[in-house]
Amino acid sequence: MPRITLTQIQSLPDLLSSEHFTFNLGEIPNVGDGLQLMLKCVDCNIPGFSTEAFDVMLHGVQRSFRGRKMYPRTLACTYVEDSTMDTLNTLRSWMEQVVGTDSNTSVGGILDYSVPATLTIFDQAGNDIDSMDFINCYVQDVPDVQVTGESSTLMRVTATFKYDYIQYRGVNIR
């Protein structure tokens, strides 16, 4: 195969910049509009995918075969905190709907404590070029939030969300 040429490189469309996205949780149970979380989301992952694999020894020869397709069914996001502590308080309130501290029960079924969330990717001109919907999305984990007196730095709140499946381009990815 010959070397890649300048003409080939110049034929590529504009490359995407990773900061053009929104992660919209919509109406969060017992909290309300998730606009503040959408605005303060600085980092979000597009979930990956993989296949299981299994090896079989056949007559002294080892063969590898594909297994089932796997999806993580988790989504990690990072938020900035503001002077109202609204980010952490919103996630804490939502977690109470998922499983109460005193009752150890949910406010109802999964449709009562989950939301359909949407991750949208934009091009350089601000056009919506791709999106995926996370069905039955709810907050699963909010790890420790670090505060430190050693230096002034932005307070970040990370959260892991759990979901049942993704709707992507009209297909349910399970």
CA distance 143 to 45: 17
In 3D space, the residue among 72, 49, 33, 40 whose CA is nearest the CA of residue 160 turns out to be: 72
Biggest alpha carbon distance in the chain? 67
- Asked, for residue 44, whether it belongs to a domain, the answer is yes
CA distance 22 to 132: 11
- Asked, for residue 53, whether it belongs to a domain, the answer is no
Structure token digits, residue 27: 């109406």
CA distance 77 to 113: 19
Name the pTM for this structure.
0.88
CA distance 142 to 69: 28
pLDDT at 170: 85
pLDDT at 174: 81
Q: What's the gap between Cα 151 and its chain centre?
A: 29
Burial 55-78 (b: 16+ CB within 10 A, else e): eeeeeeeeeeeeeeeeeebebebe
The percent of residues in the chain predicted with pLDDT above 90, rounded, is 84
Range of the domain at 167: 16-48+65-173
pLDDT at 2: 85
- Asked, for residue 3, whether it belongs to a domain, the answer is no
Over its C-alpha atoms, the chain yields an Rg (Å, rounded) of: 21
Top-confidence residue, 170 or 7 = 7
pLDDT at 128: 95
- Asked, for residue 55, whether it belongs to a domain, the answer is no
Can you give the CATH number for the domain in which 71 is found? 2.30.110
Can you tell me which residue has the tokens 């969060």? 28
Contact by Cβ (8 Å): 155, 78: no
Alpha helices in the chain (DSSP H): 6-10, 35-40, 86-98, 110-113
Residue range 64-94, pLDDT digits in tens: 999 998 888 999 999 999 999 999 999 999 9
Give residue 1's pLDDT band: very low, low, confident or very high (50, 70, 90).
Answer: low
Q: How many domains does the chain have?
A: 1
Q: Around 44, how many Cα atoms within 13 Å sit in the side-chain half-sphere?
A: 24
Residue range 92-138, pLDDT digits in tens: 999 999 999 999 999 999 999 999 999 999 999 999 999 999 999 99
- Asked, for residue 59, whether it belongs to a domain, the answer is no
